[in-house]
Amino acid sequence: MEAAGVQVHAQDIPLATHVNDQPVAGEQPGGMATIDLIHTNPNILNQTDGLRERLNLQAPLRIGYWAWELDTFPRGWDSGFKGLDQLWCPSNFCASSLGQRSPIPVSAIPHLIDWERADTLFHQRKLLENKPNGVFTCLFAFDLWSTTARKNPEAVIDAFTEAFPRRSLAGTGQPEARLILKVGSAEQFPELHEQLQLRVTSDPRIKLISKHLSRAALDRLYLEADVLVHLHRSEGFGLCMAEAMASGLPVVATAYSGNLDFMPLESAVLIPFTLTKNPRQAGDYPAGCTWAEPDVNYAAAALRHLAGDAGARERLAKRGRQAARTWLGRKRITSLVTQRLGCLLARAGRAELLAALPAGHPLRLLEG
């Protein structure tokens, strides 16, 4: 938005479920905004008492930014379209499902990677790559609010243990391979967290990290890893995968859903899948919904290959970073934002609004 020439005032949406430990850029606006961009799903606004009123949405133009992870429209979200002029979402997969019942234009506007952070991680990885490590490290990170059914950590554990069977560690000092599982919101889902703990407790090569990490500590996990393994059943976008690719970390991922927007062939190891029906309700995802079941055997073979071939890892990392730059670069996303704002302002009934804006207002630049 800022690169498109738009003045932005950020307002954190206060959710009891997630504490924001990152500073929110921008000051609160002194006057009424021209456009309200509400970057959360409609069910979240409805579930938190008084949240809509506290946001004080009064701009004459309004854009919603929603994310959804299934190929069918989410139950009960129809009322969220009320008052919106456009709907944005992070991938074409989302746009396809949300557009099924949308009375307004729907556009895929991907998340913008923090490229300064990604470039720093990339250069730090280059400095570390020639240092002897002795252990092949797989990483998977997810939040329990996203449900274990969809994020599918069991498949990651199964692929790892199949790829690297247990063997005697006597005299080695450390295992030949390890898996780091970073789990968010463990304190809010104690039963699910306990199930994961029980699943990995018998294998000392699997480390489960449940505490909240600072950005610097999370970045250290990216630097320690040799590959990100992401055997999801469905993703609206796949931010963890995008950040890994941008920072030069090879990715092994399910070849399904939102991540395919920035993950062309050979930019990651794409794991084949079978479409299946979810047998039971999982969070917002109803029983009987369709999503992917990744091929664990294929994923295990891919991990074994990458563990034994540093050159293959280097080539995959290079292609992944280039794909992220191509599809998630600032210039491309800024162009998408500019075009969609221009279309919004060109709609019938906007002439009076534009006429009331000062001559040098940035939105006038987007009018055409």
Q: For residue 23, is it within any domain?
A: no
Give residue 59's pLDDT. 87
196 plus 91 within the same structural domain: no
234 plus 296 within the same structural domain: yes
Owning domain of residue 194: 115-166+175-328
301 plus 188 within the same structural domain: yes
105 plus 146 within the same structural domain: no
pLDDT digits (tens, 9 = 90+) for 153-175: 999 999 999 999 987 455 444 45
87 plus 209 within the same structural domain: no
Q: For residue 153, is it within any domain?
A: yes
How many other CB atoms are there within 10 angstroms of residue 21's CB atom?
9
103 plus 183 within the same structural domain: no
Q: For residue 159, is it within any domain?
A: yes
292 plus 242 within the same structural domain: yes
Q: For residue 5, is it within any domain?
A: no
187 plus 307 within the same structural domain: yes
Q: For residue 20, is it within any domain?
A: no
User: CATH code at 240?
Assistant: 3.40.50.2000
288 plus 262 within the same structural domain: yes
- The two structure tokens encoding residue 357: 């804006």
Phi, psi dihedral angles at 115 (to 5 degrees)? -70, -30
Chunked mean pLDDT (size 10), the chain, 368 residues = 88 72 62 86 82 80 96 94 95 97 96 96 87 83 96 98 78 71 94 95 96 93 96 98 98 98 98 96 94 98 95 97 97 95 76 67 60
348 plus 307 within the same structural domain: no
CA-CA-CA-CA dihedral for 306, 312, 318, 320, to nearest 10: -50
123 plus 257 within the same structural domain: yes
Q: For residue 282, is it within any domain?
A: yes
Give residue 34's pLDDT. 86
Q: For residue 205, is it within any domain?
A: yes
51 plus 138 within the same structural domain: no
Q: How many domains does the chain have?
A: 2
Give residue 362's pLDDT. 61
Q: For residue 337, is it within any domain?
A: yes
CA distance 80 to 70: 17
Give residue 173's pLDDT. 42
